[in-house]
Structure 1
Amino acid sequence: MSTLGKITRRTFLVTSAAVAGGVVFGTYKYKQAVPNPLLNSDGSANPEFASLNPYIKIDQEGVTVITPRAEMGQGIQSTLAMLVAEELDLDWKRVKTEHGPASNSYYVGIMLEAMAGHMYDHSTKANIIRDLSHIPAKFLGLQITGGSMSTADAFVKMRSAGASARLALTLAAAQQWGVKATTLKTQDGHVINPASGEKLAYTALAAKAATIEAPAEPPLRDPSQWRYLGQSMPRLDIPAKVDGTAEFAIDVKQPDMLHATVKMSPRFGAGIKSSDTTKAETMKGVEKVITLDNHGFAVIADNTWRAFKAADAIDVEWGEVSYPQDTAGIFKIYEESFLAEPNGTYDEQGDVELVFADAGQNLVEAEYRVPYLAHSTMEPMTAVAQVKDGRVDIWTGSQAPTSLRDAIMAVDELTEDSVHIHTTLLGGGFGRRSETDFAVSAYKIAKQTNGKPVKVTWSREEDMQHDFYRPAAIARFKGVMGLKKPVALDVQIASPSIMLSMSKRSAFPALGPDALIAEGTAGQPDDIDNIRIRTYAPELDIPIGFWRSVGASYNGFVHESFMDELAVSQDLDPIAMRLEMFGDLAPTANKVVEKVAEMAGWTGRKTDKGGRGFAYTLSFGAHTAQIIDVSMTDRGISIDKVYCAIDVGTALDPRNIEAQVQSAIIYGLTSAMSGEITFENGEVVQSNYHDYPAMRMHQVPEIEVAVMENNPRITGVGEPGTPPSVPALANAIFAATGQRIRELPMNKSVDFV
């Protein structure tokens, strides 16, 4: 592709203006070190420990690495600790981690990099724009775990923190011994004087080192010197999760703690028409029933079960909704959106209409549909809140602690230093815990408890039926094949804008039309002479939000299914066609596709027992290719094996990367097989795992992962495994049965073991 496309150019201009503003008016501020949130509010040192920078604190017990990204099972806190430990020369067996406070100092610097152009473009110009995008990102100051950004964002930042601290500690030892710092070395948490054999522990040097201003960007070690990075290290969170001492929000206990739950309107945006809380208020253990902003109730009790039972006893009539009552009516709104002008056009070049006019029977057309999806985290939404003596404390698993802090501040115009967010481990996130609704409601409930802490736990039903869903989508494709690859491709995608929805309730910026609608279809390294991708954004009052791999979660399915349909139309091998399409655009993409074909011993779609499907998606900077084998049994389709090749640029912990890719594949296959949120009477139908099932252990295939390192930039791994899993399965089913599945979930069309 030779151009960025209309929307990309427009967004680029907006971003460029922000970048230019930073360069012209705020470069000096950008270059200033961020405030250290581990110090007291007046900048003085905390008497309990020494802090050399925002990522390191040292007390008599040793060194604690501050890992300001949420640990939700993906192992990120171990990976971030490795970055610091590598440069700081820590003993891995003694490394401790702690989630940092809610602070803009822990901003995600790379969050606007996608606006630099296509992710496969690693030209000098694109990389300069990516680097400049860090300026407005710093001023935006969002502390977020998501978008597979944590590792890539921290790769230099946290190594620099470790190296800077090591230099400060070395200088402190040199002063104490009266020698040159260059004569000293460090090892396993000590500074060593080789000449005398003396050594000083970091714990003994920390106070002096904290007064030394070391360079913020010191030289970093060459990968050939790495001791931890690139190795599969024992995860730091596993022992506590095994012995039961790990603390999730649902485990938090505070003295004199009350318990509560919520009963929210099942019709989004609809208020309370009438209600009777008398029965609930008189039930055993119930302290109070309160109304939450006319859209629901909270029951405060002496334990969670009694709160649940009392919430069920509330008699309420809810108002009407602004959106259609059922799923069919909702999809009608999607269909009608195609009649309006597109809100965005991407990757446009050539003239698709001219090619289509002469295509005749060679024109291939298909429409795909995907449903709304819930996040379905194992730990339901939970938060503990206390409001006492002008101070607000929130204990919860949050993917966006600064957004949560700001949302609570906005409720009552509180000051930043009065709101304290304590981020626990997360029992799953997938984007759901980047929302603030459940914790803000806990704050509102805590205001009614006279200073006592209250744990607010949502029932599974409330959680499932009051999510911020992955939006549904309809995609319409037209294409014409040449001898070896497509010569024309036209794509229309209708799906609500997540960014617009987020911008109405948080600090997330909505810069023009939402590129996420086309994510995973636009920006692929497909060298097609005539192409046009248009998006349409129907607006409905159904809450939507980030979901694992966001727009790529459905665009991977629609794009790669249609690529397979195009290949079939000319009896072409899909892998050979894809390699022809890449051309010289993305050498890394060629390598992952060739690798996965090698892993699977690819000879074609058919196997003795059934079929196999191929799919490739570039998402979150990671080139990912998968082949799935299925077989036909008398009990239904069996998913036998998944082969996956993923290129992450630099593999910091290969075993953990493999685990994350396996997790992403299972998450994708679950959604493909049975994931669906539907509506009746304006309400979500699904309520628990019996009607929103997860993939069972006996259904999970063998998964083989090859982790590659050809990408010029390091990428994250939490999400890229999901998008290609769905189309690879659909294409395998077609190869085995001849049935082309264009609507999810697939259990509407076929039976699975």
Structure 2
Amino acid sequence: MGRVKTIARRSFLIGSAAIAGGVAFGTYLYKREGENPLLADLKPGETALNPYVKIDAQGITLITPRADVGQGAWSMQAHMIAEELDIDPATATLSPGPASAIYYNGVVGAEGLPIAATSDTLLARTGRDAVDVAGKLMGLHITGGSSTVPDMYDRLRMAGAVARETLIRAAMKQTGLPRDQLRTENGCVVLPDGLRIEYLDMAVAAADIEPVQDVTLRDPSQWRYLTKPQKRTDMVAKSTGTLTYGIDMMMDGMVYATTRTNPALGGGLIGFDAEAAQGMRGVRSVLPITGGVAVVADNTWRAFQAAQAVECDWGPSPYIGNTDEQFDAVANSMTDDHQDSRFKDEGDVVAALDGADVIEVEYRIPYLAHAPLEPMSVVVKMSQSRLDIWTGTQIPRFVQANMAKLTGMDAGNIHVHVLMSGGSFGRRLEDDYIAQAVEIAMQLPDTPIKMIWQREEDFSHDFPRPLAMAHAKGAVKSGALDAFDLSIAAPSVAESSLARLGQPAIGPDVAIVAGAWDQPFAIPNYRVTGYRTPAMVPISSWRSVGASGNGFLHESFMDELCHAAGVDPLAERLRLCWHDPSRKVLEAVGEMSDWGSDLGPNRGCGLAFTLAFGVPVAEVVEVLSTDDGIRIDKVFVAADVGRVLDPVNFEAQVQGGVIFGLGHAMNCELTYRDGVPEQDNFHAYEGMRLYQTPQITVRGLENGNKIRGIGEPAVPPAAPALANAIFAATGQRIRELPLSKSIDFI
């Protein structure tokens, strides 16, 4: 590999070293030095000096460690680095990098704090800083919570800037020219006479230069890519079918597997008879795994068919098995013994309701499956000393640690290769399917195995969004909202998820009330209480987590109180709203939708607002009521993420969130009978159809004081805006999702 030179690492920001005639750059946020994971697996001629930018004679590799589950995360990360490095991101190779603590997420944990995103007190800042430090110390290499851009915005731009300035320093050494006579342009250092020296030609020289750490990030007025419409780096490959998703991974000598475990969750396997399956064409083996069986065959279809031929004796589910009983358990948990939180308690709700004409209602939301289009799939290959895993995952470090426990191998010998995911919505925050594939690999060493779940297995073994129930009481006074008392009961996502990691859930679960307790409205008497329902079926995070359902609960009741007071829902929200960016999104959506105009007969507009993940979003849905049902015609959305880095992807993410939220509000639920989900494929879990998709108009505002993510915040207001629009058009108030239980859609 040639001479190795180690360059002293700066304590607070930059680390760097030089190997084999190339250079790589990256950033650190704290004094503790981190190990550069790229050094562990170098090919001849490659150089890895730090985690984010690698240069050799063949090209530039940008490390984009946050998982791409369809939201454009790899492309966005590449553009942030490329903006400061001064290269066209389309000319670089992108890699998610290995599982490593250096790629920790210091933002995602803040969503678990009982601190409103609008709070900027010393305590709030200290809490967020503590989460950042904890993320680094724990090595939380994780993607979720719309945290990619907020977490990586400074880090990746700084990595690019350090790389750029170090390459300029190398050019100074090579040419003898001072810094003020050199500039960069599109992957080159440009000399005063116009001569251009390509970055690649300076890789060897830069390896001998101590990285320039005193750098200034470019002024936004100089940006070439950020805030401009971007061409996503994966778009051509996706459009031509050449992109490798987890399910597309192929290897020589590969065998194909699928698994069957008890559809009654947690019931386990008493015994099985595989005689019929073993005699089927292409079947190589039927193997026991935890709680079920695996079939290995010469192609996936034959594995699927043989798996259904295995006769299994399943045990009963240990959980409450029927949906009605599950809702009874939720209702029964609304007692003092089960109170989990009361983060919002302003004024005196009890006194305000005493003697008032109280509006009292109940709302329900169901379990929801993640149901990504790409079912759970993984390729594994295990030898005596090494385990390789190829899959789309949001938790590569957890996969590494959990598979080390399962196999008894050292975590350093487990290599997680993250691939593009065909959707997730939170499902790929779990590694249950990976563990099954590893169990197969332990029985078939030195054999590459592709394991794919059947769609029915995918649905029946999901960790769904929890069901929830709300009791709401309110009162109006002198034509205005006076009291708002919302009690929400649901199982705890944190408790369930942490239990699968062998960890206790400490303190209240903010997700139970997220998107409800932290809304910026100055209602005189305002209380939101969370109640923790004892654990039932295992659950997990679902796109926008607690806010996904709480937006419906909070904003439906807000609309009811506005109509009871005889006030315009937009005007009353504006009157009550004390948060300036939130006020501006409400004003914007009102202007966009021409709120208050005469829509004509049988039409109605519904408004909803939710502040989630620090992003205020206001949505107006316009519907037409016909003899055949409700048609959704238009949706208007205003959202504020502080700075819109890519207007094209911003619009796409908002529109996708709206369609996702509307489709689930219209039709979707996961119900249980005898512990088994009754919906086992898309025919029984139908989202919004293409012909039902409305015109969606999006506006991005930039009044917030922090940069935020947009993958999830557009989801929560969609359901209540639709329900409120149906009320406006028909006079029918629907308080339970999915709405199709009460009304038809066309």
User: What is the rounded CA distance, in whole Å, between the counterparts of 2:169 and 2:228 in structure 1?
Assistant: 30
- Pair 1:315 & 2:311 matched: yes
- Pair 1:622 & 2:620 matched: no
Residue in structure 1 matched with residue 534 of structure 2 by the alignment: 539
Q: Contact 1:51–1:210 at 8 Å: present in 2 too? A: no
User: What is the rounded CA distance, in whole Å, between the counterparts of 1:151 and 1:29 in structure 2?
Assistant: 16
Distance 1:538 1:228, change over 3 A: same
Residue in structure 1 matched with residue 296 of structure 2 by the alignment: 300
Q: Contact 2:108–2:144 at 8 Å: present in 1 too? A: no
User: What is the rounded CA distance, in whole Å, between the counterparts of 2:54 and 2:442 in structure 1?
Assistant: 33
User: What is the rounded CA distance, in whole Å, between the counterparts of 1:729 and 1:645 in structure 2?
Assistant: 16
Distance 1:480 1:216, change over 3 A: farther
User: What is the rounded CA distance, in whole Å, between the counterparts of 1:679 and 1:604 in structure 2?
Assistant: 44
Match 2:642 to one of 641, 649, 653 = 649
Q: CA deviation at 1:272?
A: 1.4
Match 2:448 to one of 453, 463, 468 = 453
Match 1:742 to one of 728, 735, 738 = 735
Distance 1:208 1:481, change over 3 A: farther
Residue in structure 2 matched with residue 187 of structure 1 by the alignment: 185
Distance 1:341 1:438, change over 3 A: closer
Q: CA deviation at 1:287?
A: 1.0
Q: Contact 2:481–2:565 at 8 Å: present in 1 too? A: no
Residue in structure 2 matched with residue 567 of structure 1 by the alignment: 562
Residue in structure 1 matched with residue 40 of structure 2 by the alignment: 40
Distance 1:574 1:606, change over 3 A: farther
Q: Contact 2:272–2:313 at 8 Å: present in 1 too? A: yes
User: What is the rounded CA distance, in whole Å, between the counterparts of 1:455 and 1:503 in structure 2?
Assistant: 28
- Pair 1:634 & 2:631 matched: no
User: What is the rounded CA distance, in whole Å, between the counterparts of 1:191 and 1:123 in structure 2?
Assistant: 44
Q: CA deviation at 1:389?
A: 3.9
363-372 vs 266-275, which deviates more?
266-275
Q: Secondary structure of 1:38's match? A: helix
Q: Contact 1:605–1:611 at 8 Å: present in 2 too? A: no
Distance 1:162 1:258, change over 3 A: same
For 1:512, give the aligned amino acid: G
Distance 1:163 1:334, change over 3 A: same
TM-score normalised by length of structure 1: 0.92
User: What is the rounded CA distance, in whole Å, between the counterparts of 2:130 and 2:468 in structure 1?
Assistant: 33
- Pair 1:395 & 2:390 matched: yes
C-alpha distance after superposition, 1:407-458 (max 9, x if no partner): 1111123212210111111000110011011112111111222311000000
Q: Contact 1:249–1:425 at 8 Å: present in 2 too? A: yes
- Pair 1:372 & 2:364 matched: no
User: What is the rounded CA distance, in whole Å, between the counterparts of 2:33 and 2:707 in structure 1?
Assistant: 24
Q: Which runs of 5+ in 1 are unaligned?
A: 1-27
Residue in structure 2 matched with residue 521 of structure 1 by the alignment: 516
Distance 1:234 1:508, change over 3 A: farther
C-alpha distance after superposition, 1:446-504 (max 9, x if no partner): 12223110000000000011101000000111111233542222221111111111111
User: What is the rounded CA distance, in whole Å, between the counterparts of 1:148 and 1:29 in structure 2?
Assistant: 20
Residue in structure 1 matched with residue 201 of structure 2 by the alignment: 204
User: What is the rounded CA distance, in whole Å, between the counterparts of 1:180 and 1:484 in structure 2?
Assistant: 71
Structure 1 outlier segments of 4+, above 6 Å:
none
User: What is the rounded CA distance, in whole Å, between the counterparts of 1:40 and 1:92 in structure 2?
Assistant: 25
Equivalences, count = 717
User: What is the rounded CA distance, in whole Å, between the counterparts of 1:217 and 1:337 in structure 2?
Assistant: 56
Distance 1:381 1:135, change over 3 A: same
For 1:530, give the aligned amino acid: N
Distance 1:369 1:604, change over 3 A: farther
Alignment of 1:233-248 (within 5 A): 233-248=230-245
Q: CA deviation at 1:329?
A: 1.1
Match 1:463 to one of 458, 463, 466 = 458
Q: Contact 2:384–2:445 at 8 Å: present in 1 too? A: no
Q: CA deviation at 1:62?
A: 1.6
Distance 1:403 1:186, change over 3 A: same
Q: Contact 1:259–1:456 at 8 Å: present in 2 too? A: yes
Match 1:686 to one of 679, 684, 695 = 679
Alignment of 1:195-594 (within 5 A): 196-215=193-212, 218-293=215-290, 295-339=291-335, 340-359=337-356, 361=357, 363-483=358-478, 485-506=480-501, 510-582=505-577, 585-594=578-587
Residue in structure 1 matched with residue 9 of structure 2 by the alignment: none
Q: Secondary structure of 1:468's match? A: coil
- Pair 1:677 & 2:670 matched: yes
C-alpha distance after superposition, 1:671-703 (max 9, x if no partner): 101110011121111111111112110011010
Q: Secondary structure of 1:49's match? A: coil
Q: CA deviation at 1:33?
A: 4.1
Q: Secondary structure of 2:704's match? A: coil
C-alpha distance after superposition, 1:197-240 (max 9, x if no partner): 43321112123324433255732111111111100111110111
For 1:354, give the aligned amino acid: A
Distance 1:113 1:603, change over 3 A: same
Q: CA deviation at 1:190?
A: 1.1
Distance 1:341 1:374, change over 3 A: closer
478-487 vs 662-671, which deviates more?
478-487
Match 2:62 to one of 58, 65, 70 = 65
Q: Secondary structure of 1:398's match? A: coil
Residue in structure 2 matched with residue 105 of structure 1 by the alignment: 102
Q: Secondary structure of 2:416's match? A: strand
Identity of aligned residues (%): 44
User: What is the rounded CA distance, in whole Å, between the counterparts of 1:225 and 1:524 in structure 2?
Assistant: 36
Q: CA deviation at 1:307?
A: 0.5
Q: CA RMSD in A?
A: 1.8
TM-score normalised by length of structure 2: 0.93
Q: CA deviation at 1:349?
A: 2.6
For 1:743, give the aligned amino acid: E
With CA pairs under 8 Å and 6+ residues apart, which has the higher RCO, 1 or 2? 1
- Pair 1:152 & 2:131 matched: no
Distance 1:63 1:391, change over 3 A: same
User: What is the rounded CA distance, in whole Å, between the counterparts of 1:513 and 1:604 in structure 2?
Assistant: 44
User: What is the rounded CA distance, in whole Å, between the counterparts of 2:131 and 2:674 in structure 1?
Assistant: 45
- Pair 1:174 & 2:169 matched: no
637-646 vs 282-291, which deviates more?
282-291
Q: Secondary structure of 1:646's match? A: strand
For 2:700, give the aligned amino acid: V
Q: CA deviation at 1:610?
A: 1.3
671-680 vs 122-131, which deviates more?
122-131
User: What is the rounded CA distance, in whole Å, between the counterparts of 1:189 and 1:509 in structure 2?
Assistant: 49
C-alpha distance after superposition, 1:637-659 (max 9, x if no partner): 10000000001101000110000
Q: CA deviation at 1:91?
A: 2.4
User: What is the rounded CA distance, in whole Å, between the counterparts of 1:234 and 1:59 in structure 2?
Assistant: 25
Q: Contact 2:59–2:200 at 8 Å: present in 1 too? A: yes
For 1:318, give the aligned amino acid: W
Q: Secondary structure of 2:30's match? A: helix
C-alpha distance after superposition, 1:287-346 (max 9, x if no partner): 1111112x1111011110111011100111211122222111111111111133412221
Q: Contact 1:606–1:735 at 8 Å: present in 2 too? A: no
Q: CA deviation at 1:104?
A: 1.1
User: What is the rounded CA distance, in whole Å, between the counterparts of 1:77 and 1:666 in structure 2?
Assistant: 23
